[in-house]
């Protein structure tokens, strides 16, 4: 169900849905084995919120997930401590944020008027150093400095931790060639190969560069992205970049991607239809789905399918046997690639006699994780 509070900023609702959906899977899992969960919103705002109780904010929606998680875990006999740190540097947003936090009585919520880029050590000190404390960092700035790799290096290096950042590619694509913006440092690598590219290729190369730096600095085996499109333009607005050290996190994130991508396209279709009605003054004969225009996401999906398929083939070709769990984890880090795609490639290669599926359980029709399935490329 969409909220009228997000009208005109539909991409923000998509982002908040992704955060909410992921936390709904993440928190119950880790809450069963840690002493406490810490949610950290590093650039909390609120920005452009119109709901009287700030229901249309990331931190409000995250708190609702934590409440639901607390009740669920309590029924199972688990009682992890829940803490939240909400950071905002601007005075007026912080005033609203502080008032919201003062109204919360059932969960520890600490507002701090800090510039996250200068107070990372203080943020980590609040989280604490115990390996029985599991923090989740959400970094969603209005610019790009707070997600710069050197800034978030201490956050990425913490263990355990999971991190979700908003990489504002719609700005970075245009400004990456301006040395005064310092985007090479933000992205954590040499941007010169990017400068010779344009359009989709430049945008996707920027995302790959950032993800490679993110993975390296945080020693994350798994880094996934979720592209969020502009509501009324056939273009990406930003990418949510997610790092985890556990394949279970990849599974939860891919389930999030599947649900959120569907919602995003539905929302964009309705936004496009609304704009057309406002332009012409006529309601039209067709549904929003029938008139929906989208090409950019489909191009990304086609390229990622090709890249993921090549990676899986190379992985199979380089080893005598490869567990299905490993090739699944490799392929699922590509945005818009689903497990069904991977299964289709393996089935096609098997039918051609190129791949052998061993350790197959009786009556098992498709490969599954956790079943000991193994594949090898026939030489």
Per-residue pLDDT tens over the stretch 151-188: 999 999 999 999 999 999 999 999 999 999 999 999 99
Q: For position 274, what pLDDT does the model report? A: 84
**pLDDT more than 70, % of the chain:** 99
pLDDT at position 2 over 70: no
User: Is domain 295-377 annotated with CATH 3.40.50?
Assistant: no
Q: What is the average pLDDT across 217-227?
A: 98
Our measurement of the distance from residue 46's CA atom to the centroid of its chain's CA atoms, rounded to an integer in Å, reads: 20
Range with the poorest average pLDDT among 50-64, 217-231, 277-291: 277-291
User: Is domain 4-270 annotated with CATH 3.40.50.150?
Assistant: yes
* CA dist., res. 181 & res. 141, Å (int): 16
**pLDDT more than 90, % of the chain:** 89
* pLDDT band, very low/low/confident/very high, at 78 (cuts 50, 70, 90): very high
3-class state of residue 332 by DSSP: coil
pLDDT at position 285 over 70: no
Range with the poorest average pLDDT among 129-138, 264-273, 330-339: 264-273
Domain limits of the chain? Answer: 4-270, 295-377
Which residues lie below 8 Å from residue 77, measured CB to CB, with a gap of 6+? none
The tokens describing 10, both together, are 């539909």
Which residues lie below 8 Å from residue 308, measured CB to CB, with a gap of 6+? 330, 331, 334, 337, 341, 342
pTM of the model: 0.96
Q: Which of 226, 86, 219 is nearest to 156 (CA)?
A: 219
Q: For position 1, what pLDDT does the model report? A: 46
* CA dist., res. 357 & res. 376, Å (int): 7
**Strand pairing report for 81-87 and 222-229:** unpaired
Residue written as token pair 């003062």? 102
Which DSSP letter does residue 360 get? P
* pLDDT band, very low/low/confident/very high, at 201 (cuts 50, 70, 90): very high
Average pLDDT value over all residues in the chain: 95
3-class state of residue 55 by DSSP: coil
pLDDT at position 30 over 80: yes
67-81, 283-297, 349-363, range with greatest mean pLDDT: 67-81
């Amino acid at each position: 169900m969409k909220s009228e509070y997000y009208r005109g900023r539909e991409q923000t609702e998509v982002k908040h849905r992704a955060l909410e959906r992921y936390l709904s899977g993440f928190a119950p899992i880790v809450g069963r084995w840690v002493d406490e969960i810490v949610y950290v919103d590093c650039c909390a705002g609120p920005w452009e919120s119109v709901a009287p109780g700030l229901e249309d904010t990331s931190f409000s929606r995250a708190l609702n997930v934590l409440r639901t998680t607390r009740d669920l875990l309590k029924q199972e006999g688990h009682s992890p401590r829940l803490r939240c740190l909400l950071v905002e540097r601007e005075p007026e947003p912080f005033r609203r944020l502080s008032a919201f936090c003062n109204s919360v009585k059932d969960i520890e919520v600490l507002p701090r008027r800090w510039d996250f880029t200068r107070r990372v050590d203080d943020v980590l000190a609040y989280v604490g150093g115990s390996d029985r404390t599991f923090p989740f960092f959400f970094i969603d700035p209005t610019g790009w400095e707070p997600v710069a790799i050197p800034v978030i290096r201490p956050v990425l290096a913490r263990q355990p931790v999971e991190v979700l950042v908003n990489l504002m590619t719609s700005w970075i694509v245009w400004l990456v060639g301006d040395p005064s913006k310092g985007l090479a440092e933000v992205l954590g690598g040499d941007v010169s190969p990017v400068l010779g590219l344009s359009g989709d290729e430049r945008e996707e190369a920027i995302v790959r560069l950032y993800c490679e730096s993110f993975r390296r600095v945080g020693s994350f085996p798994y880094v996934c992205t979720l592209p969020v499109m502009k509501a009324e333009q056939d273009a990406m607005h930003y990418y949510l970049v997610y790092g985890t050290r556990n394949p279970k996190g990849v599974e939860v994130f891919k389930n999030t991607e599947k649900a959120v991508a569907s919602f995003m396209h539905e929302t964009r279709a309705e936004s496009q239809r609304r704009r057309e009605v406002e332009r012409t003054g006529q309601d039209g004969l067709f549904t929003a789905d029938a008139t929906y225009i989208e090409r950019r996401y489909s191009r990304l999906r086609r390229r990622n399918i090709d890249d993921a398929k090549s990676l899986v083939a190379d992985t199979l070709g380089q080893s005598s046997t490869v567990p299905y769990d490993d090739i699944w984890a490799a392929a699922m880090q590509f945005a818009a690639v689903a497990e069904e795609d991977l299964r289709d490639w393996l089935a096609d290669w098997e039918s051609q006699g190129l791949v052998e599926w061993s350790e197959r359980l009786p009556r098992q029709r498709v490969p599954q994780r956790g079943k000991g399935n193994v594949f090898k490329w026939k030489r």
